[in-house]
Structure 1
Amino acid sequence: MSSAQHTQAPPAALEGLRVLDLSGPMGNYAGKLFADMGADVILVEPPGGSALRREPPFIGDVPGIERSLNFAYQNTSKRGICLDLETSSGQHLLRLLAAKADLVIETAPPGWMAARGLGFDDLAQARPQIVVASITPFGQTGPYAQMAATDLVGLAMGGLLYMGGYRDVAPTQAHGDQAFKCAAMYGAVAAMLAVTHAEQGGGGQHVDISMQESVTLALENAAQTFDLEGTVRQRPLAEQRFAGYGLFECKDGYIFLGSRGIGNSPAWSRSLQWFKDEGMEGVERLYGPEWSDLAYLKSDEARDVFGELFMRWSRRHTKAWLYGEGQKRLIPLAPVSTPADLLENPQLQARGHFVPFTHPLLETAARMPGAPYVLSGTPWRVSRPAPRLGEHTAEVLAEVGVSGAEAAQLFSMGVAA
């Protein structure tokens, strides 16, 4: 976007807010949420760059600190600086930056920041209204507080891994660092609440976000089911739960069909009429009193009969056709979308969900997911690509009174880059 276009654009929702993002893979997405809503988010990386820069996939499948697509996506709209926080000079510079910031997001082990004079109490001395959001695997307190954790560990310790996959195989990890994303999203919400409280005169505070607790909140009603019924929720069986309900193959992939429920479901009668209208071979086998008996619906015989008849017919049709016809007839049916399907999905296209993704190493813009919400007066937008390592260090240091000569000396000492 040109400067002229940006000037004419309406203000973003968080314009005027300044955020220091010291986080890595567990928290960079939280910073992105603020940055794409207009906050001035400054990504503070250690020498050598964030660990996220080393995570695949890479542009052209070639590793490199400027080639990680994961890093590029999670750090859009941010400015980037490089500081060595293990040095007293680096710590001093961060305190200067924090004195003009509203929020700090960090993912260091509990006590790491305080040991370097960068904890909430230290930063609040110069900026009483500052908010420090600490996103860690298990929170700042408790017997696990100092334990490290990957995304997989977060899913396991939060209980969500137990629910992933099917009962007859080992638990399956959901793709895409979902535990990290849970922690980052809950962290962003909690941090925004604390910033709002500070802006209303309530003062700053330390926000303690636990990845384990964030993941536990994703268990839906598993805890209530045990509390009320004494039943431990299980992963589903890989096969259909009962006839007429589950995943089924079609011509170009899979659909989910929920036409058969307990009792005389209206969707079941509508489905039978659909199958009859389409001339499904053997549809008469689905009529009879046994198809209203839940015990029979759960039997291997019922599942096999329905699966054989339905898939012999569904494999001749695309998931788009099946979805469209199912919707017309008020039958619960949905396509199982692949990433390629999502890019061409007419609903997502109509709402402009996928936005251009630019990168210095890409000759043409790609596409990436935008925001799942639309603000009519203060729109979401990507203001710049993710920063190169240390791209804005001199610029940001100048904003806190560091002269060009001082910056050059810091660069030569390795304190900044």
Structure 2
Amino acid sequence: MTSTPEVMALAGITVLDVAGPLGNYCGKLFADLGARVILIEPLIGSPSRHVEPRIAGRDDSDASLTFQYQNTNKESIALDLESDIGTQVFHRLAERCSLILESEQPGKMADRGLDFAQLRRANPALTLTSITAFGQSGPFAHWLATDLTAMGMGGMLYLAGYPDTAPMVACGEQAVGAANLFAAVASLAAVYDAEVSGSGQHVDVSMQECVVMGMENAVQFYDLEGTIRQRNAGTQRLAGTGVFECEDGYIYLMAGGIGSNRFWKTTTDWLIEEGVIGAEQFREERWNNQEFLASDEAKHLFGEVFTPFVRKLTKRALHAKGRTRRIPLAPICDTRDIAGDPQREFRRYFVDTQDAHGTTLHMPGAPYRLSATPWQLRRHAPQLGEHTREILSWVGYTDTEQEAMRQQGVVR
């Protein structure tokens, strides 16, 4: 753990996180910047406690690496929201918080008496952020969906993979990640507005729409040109622009296609200087023509010349040569490269912490730096119900009342 600064960026903000796997990372972003984030879990624990991968040799409810990462700096209360007493407790908590994050199907919170209209009666400045697959309204609003569903229906899946195969999903839950990031930005804006105006808002986040936002210019291509962008994976989109195999992995080269082939001459000069057989032809006028660069003939010719050359060199060597000549050439890093990267080591991006059982975990830190109110890792992810007593006391429940709740199976 690191020391806590006197002032953190979001100190004074209290967040109720009932979002589950679809929104726990959003809650973490608030917690890591100093907000008090209370994770409200069902009595059996959050679903993300059971997500693989797990800490080797452990099968307890704290062993999920996903849960451990997404819930650092949070407190946990185990509460039955399907009970009348549970909803009463939730209302008391909502009265004292600035933001609630939830990811139930539209209408579920209303069925519990916990929709935005009811919650804000006692707290008009409350912000409620709902993160769902398709949003709170529309013909798809009540459809269930996973990350894969959102990637498919958001169009991103169509662009991922190889030209001669079915679409492929990107590594990790990218749709879920996008929904969390957009939810965090929108929620922070709404909380700020509520502090100024005194009136909270309901923030409605659609995971599908977040995916569509990430499709670069695919929609614009269709709108302006009637062109449906295709997936090309590592194949050359244009001659000289694509993934190429080298001695110890792969590199990505962009020698043409941007700014009237501004990098083509530089790349050609480099290859000629290296004595690459066949590179002289790249000075011919036809290689300055975009239509020719997009042809299978051009791609094949470039590959015949370039591939034998790069297969004899490492990623590191090729990257250095590209940087020297200011050619867009990047190594494609695997997890070993990322973990041992000197840039990340210098910025102390990866951090160590211990879970509640004393197991040391090595995890990503924050990809941003605030000079005066920095991100801090203050506590490990909570055990199920670890802070139930403290949280109930905070909203006025006596020890006798808490014990009665436990006897009735409302809290844990």
Q: TM-score, normalised by structure 2?
A: 0.94
Letter matched to residue 400 of structure 1: V
- Aligned match of 1:178: 174
Q: Is the contact between residue 137 and residue 211 of structure 1 (CA under 8 Å) also seen in structure 2?
A: yes
Alignment of 1:369-408 (within 5 A): 369-408=364-403
Of 296-305 and 23-32, the range deviating more from structure 2: 296-305
- Aligned match of 2:136: 140
| Matched pairs, number | 412
Deviations 1:260-316 (A, max 9, x none): 337973422222322233333444454544434445434444333332332222122
In structure 2, do the counterparts of structure 1 residues 261 and 115 end up closer, same or farther at CA, with 3 Å as the change threshold?
closer
- Aligned match of 2:321: 325
In structure 2, do the counterparts of structure 1 residues 224 and 241 end up closer, same or farther at CA, with 3 Å as the change threshold?
closer
Q: Distance in 2 between matches of 1:87 and 1:271?
A: 68
- Aligned match of 2:276: 280
Correspondence 1:85 to 2:81 = yes
Correspondence 1:18 to 2:11 = no
The counterpart of 1:236, out of the listed 213, 232, 243, is 232
Secondary structure of 1:176 counterpart: coil
Correspondence 1:169 to 2:165 = yes
In structure 2, do the counterparts of structure 1 residues 217 and 298 end up closer, same or farther at CA, with 3 Å as the change threshold?
closer
In structure 2, do the counterparts of structure 1 residues 393 and 253 end up closer, same or farther at CA, with 3 Å as the change threshold?
same
The counterpart of 1:207, out of the listed 164, 181, 203, is 203
The Cα of 1:372 is off from its aligned counterpart by: 1.9
Q: Is the contact between residue 167 and residue 238 of structure 1 (CA under 8 Å) also seen in structure 2?
A: no
Correspondence 1:261 to 2:257 = yes
Letter matched to residue 384 of structure 2: L
Q: Distance in 2 between matches of 1:248 and 1:70?
A: 33
Q: Is the contact between residue 10 and residue 377 of structure 1 (CA under 8 Å) also seen in structure 2?
A: no
Q: Is the contact between residue 163 and residue 234 of structure 1 (CA under 8 Å) also seen in structure 2?
A: yes
Deviations 1:366-396 (A, max 9, x none): 2x22222111111111211111111111111
Correspondence 1:297 to 2:293 = yes
Q: Is the contact between residue 124 and residue 198 of structure 2 (CA under 8 Å) also seen in structure 1?
A: no
Q: Distance in 2 between matches of 1:264 and 1:120?
A: 53
- Aligned match of 2:53: 57
The Cα of 1:236 is off from its aligned counterpart by: 2.4
Q: Is the contact between residue 234 and residue 244 of structure 2 (CA under 8 Å) also seen in structure 1?
A: no
The Cα of 1:237 is off from its aligned counterpart by: 6.4
In structure 2, do the counterparts of structure 1 residues 404 and 323 end up closer, same or farther at CA, with 3 Å as the change threshold?
same
Q: Is the contact between residue 251 and residue 332 of structure 2 (CA under 8 Å) also seen in structure 1?
A: yes
- Aligned match of 1:416: 411
- Aligned match of 2:153: 157
In structure 2, do the counterparts of structure 1 residues 140 and 335 end up closer, same or farther at CA, with 3 Å as the change threshold?
same
Secondary structure of 2:411 counterpart: coil
Q: Is the contact between residue 356 and residue 383 of structure 2 (CA under 8 Å) also seen in structure 1?
A: no
The Cα of 1:129 is off from its aligned counterpart by: 1.0
- Aligned match of 1:192: 188
Secondary structure of 2:245 counterpart: strand
Q: Distance in 2 between matches of 1:112 and 1:374?
A: 38
Correspondence 1:353 to 2:342 = no
Stretches of structure 1 lacking an aligned partner (at least 5 in a row): none
Letter matched to residue 179 of structure 1: A
Q: Is the contact between residue 137 and residue 210 of structure 1 (CA under 8 Å) also seen in structure 2?
A: yes
Stretches of structure 2 lacking an aligned partner (at least 5 in a row): none
Of 215-224 and 101-110, the range deviating more from structure 2: 215-224
Deviations 1:234-262 (A, max 9, x none): 22265322322210011111000111337
Q: Is the contact between residue 263 and residue 294 of structure 1 (CA under 8 Å) also seen in structure 2?
A: no
Q: Is the contact between residue 241 and residue 298 of structure 1 (CA under 8 Å) also seen in structure 2?
A: yes
Q: Is the contact between residue 352 and residue 360 of structure 2 (CA under 8 Å) also seen in structure 1?
A: no
Correspondence 1:310 to 2:306 = yes
Q: Distance in 1 between matches of 2:239 and 2:147?
A: 36
In structure 2, do the counterparts of structure 1 residues 319 and 162 end up closer, same or farther at CA, with 3 Å as the change threshold?
same
Taking only the aligned residue pairs, the percentage that are identical comes to: 47
Q: TM-score, normalised by structure 1?
A: 0.93
Secondary structure of 2:227 counterpart: coil
The Cα of 1:344 is off from its aligned counterpart by: 1.9
